[in-house]
Structure 1
Amino acid sequence: MTDDMDRVADSDADEQGPTSNASVVRHDWTESGHPTVTLVEAVAAATDRTTTDLPSLYRSIDPDALDALVTAGPPAVTVAFQYADVAVSVTGNGTIEIRLDEGSTEERVE
């Protein structure tokens, strides 16, 4: 599980310009080799929740299919979907991006 210290060390948060109310948190899933495990931990850290507080990933996407697609597919493959009220994209090159709408998560995101 990722805690706040890991979130700061392992992710980059970018503000999206002065007119946007969203930020993007990036993680690298290649270190664990399991994109979906890293994805759930990253969303939990980005939304200041525990992994057990999140809905089942199966409600949004088939985790086995996602892992197979991004680990065996070309690096340019990108899968984007909604999970736990945030926009997520996972790429074959190892990047997980979590787009947070700061208006709805402003109490959770520092």
Structure 2
Amino acid sequence: MVFTRLVTDSISGYQSDQETNSTTVRHDWSQPGPPSVALVEAVAAATDRTTADLPLRHRSVDADAFDALLTSEESASVTVSFKYADTTVRVNRNGNIEIQIDGALTDGDDD
């Protein structure tokens, strides 16, 4: 089953495929707020947790480098993949944040 719903003002769409535990969020990097914040909001929505329930993102990705890669005019075809909060996240410059839930969710203490 695939559905779309609005997650926040900065995230334009949220699609979830329950059969594959996969979620894709489309985000406009030119909108206010850094991509690293949109990433945390997208993972929270995909895992049905609050952003406060997620582990600190700096354990998985350098937020400053992440934001610079995704907002730089010079990085037209960048894709970044990493593990975060019991998910595998793949983000690209065109605004797609793909989230694959890896397994049973924990309290967020392990990443």
TM-score, normalised via structure 1 length: 0.72
Q: Looking at both structures, which has the greater relative contact order when contacts are Cα pairs under 8 Å and sequence separation is at least 6?
A: 1
Give me the whole-angstrom Cα distance separating, in 1, the residues matched to 2:21 and 2:42.
16
Structure 1 residue 54 corresponds to structure 2 residue 54:
yes
Give me the whole-angstrom Cα distance separating, in 2, the residues matched to 1:50 and 1:12.
16
Residue-by-residue CA offset, 1:58-96 (whole Å, 9 max, x unaligned): 010111111011111422110100000101111122221
Q: Point out 4+ residue stretches in structure 1 off by more than 6 angstroms.
A: none
RMSD between superposed Cα atoms in Å:
2.5
Q: Which residue of 2 aligns with 1:77?
A: 78
Q: Which residue of 1 aligns with 2:97?
A: 96
Cα pair 1:29 1:96 within 8 Å, conserved: no
1:1-110 to 2 correspondences below 5 Å: 6-7=6-7, 10-15=12-17, 21-30=20-29, 31-72=31-72, 73-101=74-102, 104=104
The unaligned stretches of length 5 or more in structure 2 are 106-111
Quick check: which one's helix share is greater? 1
Letter in 1 for 2:85: A
Cα pair 1:44 1:50 within 8 Å, conserved: yes
The unaligned stretches of length 5 or more in structure 1 are 106-110
Give me the whole-angstrom Cα distance separating, in 1, the residues matched to 2:83 and 2:68.
19
TM-score, normalised via structure 2 length: 0.71
Cα pair 1:74 1:92 within 8 Å, conserved: yes
Give me the whole-angstrom Cα distance separating, in 2, the residues matched to 1:84 and 1:54.
6
1:23 deviation in Å?
2.0
